[in-house]
Amino acid sequence: MNKTMKFLVEVENDNERLDIFLSKKIEDLTRSNIKKIIESGSVLINKKIIASSSKKVKLKDSILITFLTKSPEKLLPDKIKLDIQYEDKDILVINKPKGMVVHPGAGNYRKTLANALVYKYKNKLSNTNDKLRPGIIHRIDKDTSGLLVVAKNNLSHSKLGKQFSDHSIKRKYLCLAWGVIRPLKGRIETLISRNKKNRQLMTVSEFSGKKAITNYKTIKIYSIRDIPKISLIECELETGRTHQIRVHMKYKGTFLLGDNQYGKKNLKFKKINNDFHKNLSALNGQALHAKSLGFIHPTKNKWVNFESKLPSDFKKLLNLLKNLSG
């Protein structure tokens, strides 16, 4: 379990730097350690993540700091049913559901895809990575559903890993976004780096970060009475940066339906179709699905391509839009 500590800012600490305030309250931590904790996104002021040590605290601010437990040395098995789309002696292709983290990390050491894999396959997975990521070559966000390839041996891991490095893997996603992106089809090429104000988010950067390329095309624009315009967009990734599609959609002036991190948390409508609003509220995370995955099979040396069905919440919303548009 993670340890948390909560403080309330008193009169004598009003307008004090966050790192100074916490160093006074937690005497066994140095300013340097406290700064690292703040920058990791583990400090909240009034329930909002603050990643800046120089942030000034105000009278009656509520401050919550979380100390992450040390990561386990051994990956523990969890019995979780996997949606396996394809399997042979070398690879697995899995359709990951929304809400599942791919591998253990800060605050998520159980019930991940890696925990499920080690339960089912034990030591029959590649061990190229550390002990907490057997077979894992790539990942998709917790609240994004869709296809992942897993390596059962180190040869397959190496060959697939090279294809990811060479950007020869074909990954296509479907998403629903507010409004209309102009042009309707295009290529987004930017640098992406950590958001300095919130280290849990990514952002487009002009001068630093990793190159990120998303090719997109608008499949359908839904213009329906009592519903804001919505676009169904297909995105093909050349790179696989953290939150890449969501960051690039924001860069283009929109955000995905259900995305509370890069969009607005509490959308308010002057007038809204009740059925649509009900289905929108039922979205479990952003409307983003990794629908297809193509690569050269590591031992058969031939091109293989896999397709997956939309998750139920995405499909229901999309069907409703189709029906309402006639």
What residues does each domain of the chain span? Answer: 3-67, 84-165, 170-325
Cα–Cα distance measured from residue 229 to residue 177, given in angstroms and rounded to the nearest whole number: 9
Q: Which fold has domain 170-325?
A: Pseudouridine synthase (3.30.2350)
Catalytic residues, by residue number, are: 141
CA distance linking residue 223 with residue 213, whole number of Å: 29
pLDDT tens profile 295-318: 999 999 999 999 999 999 999 999
The predicted structure's pLDDT at residue 34: 87
Domain 3-67 fold is 3.10.290
Asked whether residue 209 carries a pLDDT value surpassing 90, the answer given is yes
Mind listing the pLDDT tens digit for each residue in 151-164? 999 999 999 999 99
Kindly report, residue by residue over 85-139, the tens digit of the pLDDT: 999 999 999 999 998 999 987 657 789 999 999 999 999 999 988 788 999 999 9
> Could you write out the DSSP letters of every residue in 40-55?
TT-EEETTEE---TTP
- What SS3 class is residue 39? helix
Spatial distance between the Cα atoms of 104 and 115, rounded to a whole number of angstroms: 8
At 241-283, the pLDDT tens digits run 999 999 999 999 999 999 988 998 667 788 889 999 999 988 8
C-alpha torsion angle, residues 279, 281, 282, 283 (rounded to 10): 100
Average pLDDT, the chain: 91
pLDDT at 69 over 70: no
| pLDDT value of position 298 | 97
* Rg of the chain on CA atoms, in Å: 22
Q: Which CATH architecture has domain 84-165?
A: 2-Layer Sandwich (3.30)
pLDDT value of residue 1: 52
**170-325: same fold as 84-165?**
yes
pLDDT above 90 covers a percentage of the chain that reads 71
* pLDDT of the residue at 70: 63
DSSP structural state of residue 56: B
